[in-house]
Chains A and B, each alone.
Chain A
């Protein structure tokens, strides 16, 4: 008996196939290489059709949330859409956090969910959930496939919508009976949607208007967001900034869009941005926002955000324009196209005085930490930057370690920083790093979590070990939900409500999964273990860094406030040596570099 005779490439176009076969053939046509998923009752037929397809690798995660974050990590690392396949009901609802995360961070995902048979929908059937209804506000678009003849066209549209314009997640709900019905298969070669035509070329008049304003600027700042990376425009941004001589600050998702080794780099802005980037935005006369959305973690109090600036905003999403902060010259279009055009209309600016002003801020208020008795997370990230020379994909979780990584690593390349920004999803890092590892083998992949976040999706350790993925898994353990604790310390009279975190023995936990593991508790041990981890290429390796318990992330602009309320790193004159993390001309990411250390 040959139960599986339908391997790819054997069927002529237009021949009759089941929905499950059409599904699989459509993924092949979309050149999908990897699917993250978990089978169940409603998707048995689909998984049966997937069984013989050698072009598509299916990764069985240990939780559907892990599958969704893995697909996000894959998409962010590669620029290709991440694909998820789960069953109905709980399988579908478990992807909701990942879908919401992808929606907030504009990550192209196509999520396929099983569904009960059409005639059972609405009956409270076993494992039924109205996943289309549940995900309507957190997807770019979603579908319920009601007719097998519509399936291939729907999949084509789903991939097109997910990856075009401002990218985002699209969900396709697949009722069980539809997937068993037959229809002729021909994958459409084009998509035509009268109601969806993203604008990619910037309006010529707006570009000229923007150029006129930029050409008059004496204190310009470029504010670059994740859209620069989605658009593949890091090179255009860099050329644009250098031509103008314009300082560049990036958002959390913009890290890597502009090399922090460039003298014009100011590092990240916002609540935990560098002192000088926030001061520069506050003092600038022209702010050029590129692929960024004026998030509240960037602006603080919008009334006092860039108060003296004429704002130019380049974004592909018209609804991002003037949503939080009114802008003066909007340019709707793809960042790569618009910058490529705009650069021809601007000329080098005289920004020496402005850059000297910023240099004073940089000297007086650098990113820094003061040595104490315990190991510091800041040191771990700074050293990671030095040891890798910036050639690593860093996948962070959410909280203090995420901010320290953003601050103390030296970012030089796009798609090397993967994190959950908009939604702030703890438990993101481990599965997202796993997804990144399926898409990228050219750089080491480093997953970094806190002790809290790691425990939210640690089940994916098994998946990582099973596939021998060479991921360096770092847990920064301070025994607290550190960011909440920091807020409680600063704003809630040190009442530490429910932030002390009891954890398992992480080293034993990793070893139980079959992953070599070690623990570092001093700066010396941290160096040794980090070097050992970076040299280890045969499968995953785990290092727990036990760091100072009550450390805070600085600088900090308290929520809803402005630079006037910015808190800089407190320095104890009788304390330990101070280590600076420079950005710009003194940032030295190469492996042989040494970072200047100032001792007060």
Chain B
């Protein structure tokens, strides 16, 4: 061992990939004052990205489920799940990304219409199994449910007709129970 400093750099670890990918994280949290704020604040304070966040009650009245869609490389996602778990109100943190899971998102789309375009818009709605939930002489409001990709697709199809407003819920997801081969 020579008493001069090594010029090596810290070895790269096989697991330390720098590929950023989307992750769907499902959280069970105590339904307590400030819990939502704590989680949203954590993402802001640590500079983590939130693509969507949905929250609602569960089968237990004092527990809420949050579904967060975020993006990052493996070390960042590892930190996000650890930091979420560290919050006192967090009961369970599951990164669904590595499991098979069902995901749904709901979107309301208000499209500008005229007598000339209305039927074409309704045909598109039918293809996506979207429902008309409001109608006026100049607009149609559609409700569509599905994966984020499906929601993106219907929005893309309706874009040429001039979309006036969009409201998306963000993703909700649950792990699939049947994981075996059919």
Question: Chain A interface (Cβ within 8 Å of chain B)?
Answer: 132-133, 136-137, 140-142, 144, 146, 161, 193-196, 219, 279, 282-283, 302-308, 317-319, 321-323, 325-326, 328, 353-354, 357, 360-361, 364, 562-564
Contact = CB atoms under 8 A, between A and B. Distances in A.
Given A144-B33, A326-B13, A354-B1, A317 B6 contact: no
Contacts, number: 80
A562 B181 CA distance: 53
B167 interface: no
Interface residues of B, number: 31
Nearest to A321: B82
A364 B75 CA distance: 40
A141 B33 CA distance: 12
Given A279-B5, A360-B3, A318 B82 contact: yes
Contacts of B180: none
Contacts of B3: 279, 357, 360-361, 364
B79 to A, nearest CB: 6
Contacts of A361: 3
Contacts of B5: 279, 282-283, 562-564
Interface stretch (B85-93, B102-110, B122-130, B149-157): B85-93
Contacts of A304: 8-10
Interface in B8-34: 8-11, 13, 16, 29-30, 33-34
B45 interface: yes
A136 B34 contact: yes
Nearest to B88: A141
A375 to B, nearest CB: 34
Contact of B79 (A282, A319, A353, A357): A319
Contact of B86 (A302, A305, A317, A326): A317
B109 to A, nearest CB: 35
B99 interface: no
Nearest to B29: A195
Contact of A307 (B11, B33, B79): B11
Most buried by A among B3, B29, B41, B79: B3
Most buried by B among A193, A195, A325: A195
A195 B86 CA distance: 9
A133 B42 CA distance: 12
Contact of A282 (B6, B29, B75, B83): B6
A362 to B, nearest CB: 11
B86 A133 contact: no
Interface in B36-90: 37-38, 41-42, 45, 75, 78-79, 82-83, 85-86, 88-90
